Chains A and B, each alone.
Chain A
Amino acid sequence: GIQVEQSPPDLILQEGANSTLRCNFSDSVNNLQWFHQNPWGQLINLFYIPSGTKQNGRLSATTVATERYSLLYISSSQTTDSGVYFCAAETSGSRLTFGEGTQLTVNP
Chain B
Amino acid sequence: GAGVSQSPSNKVTEKGKDVELRCDPISGHTALYWYRQSLGQGLEFLIYFQGNSAPDKSGLPSDRFSAERTGGSVSTLTIQRTQQEDSAVYLCASSLGAGLGEVHFGNGTRLTVT
A-side residues, CB < 8 A to B, are 30-31, 33, 35, 41-45, 48, 50, 86, 88, 90, 92-101
Contact = CB atoms under 8 A, between A and B. Distances in A.
Which DSSP category, helix, strand, loop or mixed, fits chain B's interface?
Answer: strand
Interface of B: 33, 35, 37, 42-43, 45, 48, 56, 89, 91, 93, 98-105, 107-108
A86 to B, nearest CB: 7
B45 A33 contact: no
Given A43-B105, A45-B104, A96-B33, A86 B99 contact: no
The 4 A-B pairs of least Cβ separation, nearest first, read A30-B99, A43-B105, A31-B99, A95-B48
A83 to B, nearest CB: 13
A100 B43 CA distance: 8
